[in-house]
């Protein structure tokens, strides 16, 4: 059973075994902000009930990006404002049904019929409060900044900053290599530089445990190394095999990143 951990006064994190997902909650004097909503209507309902164990305040939702595990649980929180980067809405319009089909097949093969049923029956919620570059929310005695720092894990990553804590979504991953399936590898390092410039004491990844700036700095260096290999491969200076041999990440991760730079 997952539990809330309080990182700072009124700033909570909750980590799940399923996909090692990490979500957040920021509580002000008048409102609460839920950071990501899990992967289907049943998971979203579980998270909504867990939030209500912490606070009865009205909530708003922010989605760090449009991958199903971070946002398909949103219907459990309605009615509520749903914040995301402006390109997240278009990404969901384009990919939601593909994501649903792909992951339903995954869970069916895994022998998880309840998860398949919940995922198939989920209504995917389109965010209705869209951010271009940044905006600030006032939760009552607590300000929270929503920031698009550039492309990286996707072209619509949104980070959440409050009280020396940053929820980074999948711009940062702890416990597994970063995912490049929808990534922009050559832009990702500079986006992480901007994240580091925020000066957060604690960074919450989209998957795994909260980390320090030193961890983010090391991951940025690894992604920058892979980005340079991707660039050299795109320019025809090295082969895919040479890039894989020099990469700081496993072969499948490297091949996905290379593919993303040649599309």
CATH of the domain at 128: 3.60.15.10
Domain count, the chain: 1
How much is the pLDDT for 4?
97
Alpha-carbon distance values, 251 to 185, 242, 259 (Å) = 15, 11, 12
> How far does Cα 237 stand from its chain's mean position?
33
**Residue 236, domain member (yes or no):** no
pLDDT in tens, the chain (263 residues): 479 999 999 999 999 999 999 999 999 999 999 999 999 999 999 999 999 999 999 999 999 999 999 999 999 999 999 999 999 999 999 999 999 999 999 999 999 999 999 999 999 999 999 999 999 999 999 999 999 999 999 999 999 999 899 999 999 999 999 999 999 999 999 999 999 999 999 999 999 999 999 999 999 999 999 999 999 999 999 999 999 999 999 999 999 999 998 75
How much is the pLDDT for 40?
97
How much is the pLDDT for 1?
47
**Residue 263, domain member (yes or no):** no
**Residue 220, domain member (yes or no):** no
- Show the tokens assigned to 19: 């996909």
Helix pair 213-234, 188-197: axis angle to 10 deg: 160
**Residue 58, domain member (yes or no):** yes
Pick the closest to residue 171 from 256, 160, 74 (CA basis): 160
**Residue 223, domain member (yes or no):** no
Partners of 27 in the beta sheet? 32
Helix pair 113-120, 41-54: axis angle to 10 deg: 90
**Residue 152, domain member (yes or no):** yes
The parent domain of residue 128 ranges over 4-212
**Residue 72, domain member (yes or no):** yes
> What string of DSSP letters covers 38-84?
-SSHHHHHHHHHHHHHH--S-EEEE-S---HHHHTTGGGG-SS-EEE
**Residue 256, domain member (yes or no):** no
Contact 183, 192 (CB under 8 A): no
């Amino acid at each position: 059973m997952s539990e809330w951990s309080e990182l700072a006064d009124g700033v909570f994190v909750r980590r799940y075994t399923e996909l090692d997902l990490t979500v957040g909650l920021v509580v002000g004097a008048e409102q609460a902000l839920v950071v990501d909503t899990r992967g289907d209507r049943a998971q979203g309902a579980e998270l909504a009930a867990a939030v209500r164990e912490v606070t009865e305040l009205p909530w708003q939702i922010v989605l760090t990006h449009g991958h199903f595990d971070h946002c398909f649980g949103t219907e459990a929180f309605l009615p509520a404002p749903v914040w995301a980067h402006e390109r997240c809405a278009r990404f969901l319009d384009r990919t939601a049904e593909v994501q649903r089909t792909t992951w339903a097949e995954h869970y069916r093969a895994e022998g998880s019929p309840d998860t398949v049923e919940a995922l198939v029956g989920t209504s995917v919620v389109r965010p209705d409060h869209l951010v271009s570059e940044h905006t600030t929310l006032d939760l009552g005695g607590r300000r929270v900044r929503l920031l698009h720092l550039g492309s990286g894990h996707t072209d619509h990553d949104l980070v959440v900053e409050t009280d020396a804590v940053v929820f980074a979504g999948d711009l940062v991953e702890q416990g597994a290599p970063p995912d490049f399936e929808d990534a922009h590898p050559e832009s990702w390092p500079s986006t992480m530089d901007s994240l580091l410039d925020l000066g957060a004491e604690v960074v919450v990844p989209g998957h795994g445990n909260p980390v320090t700036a030193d961890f983010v700095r090391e991951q940025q260096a690894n992604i920058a190394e892979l980005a340079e290999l991707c660039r050299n491969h795109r320019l025809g200076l090295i082969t895919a095999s040479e890039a894989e041999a020099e990469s700081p990440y496993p072969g499948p991760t490297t091949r996905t990143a290379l593919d993303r730079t040649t599309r």
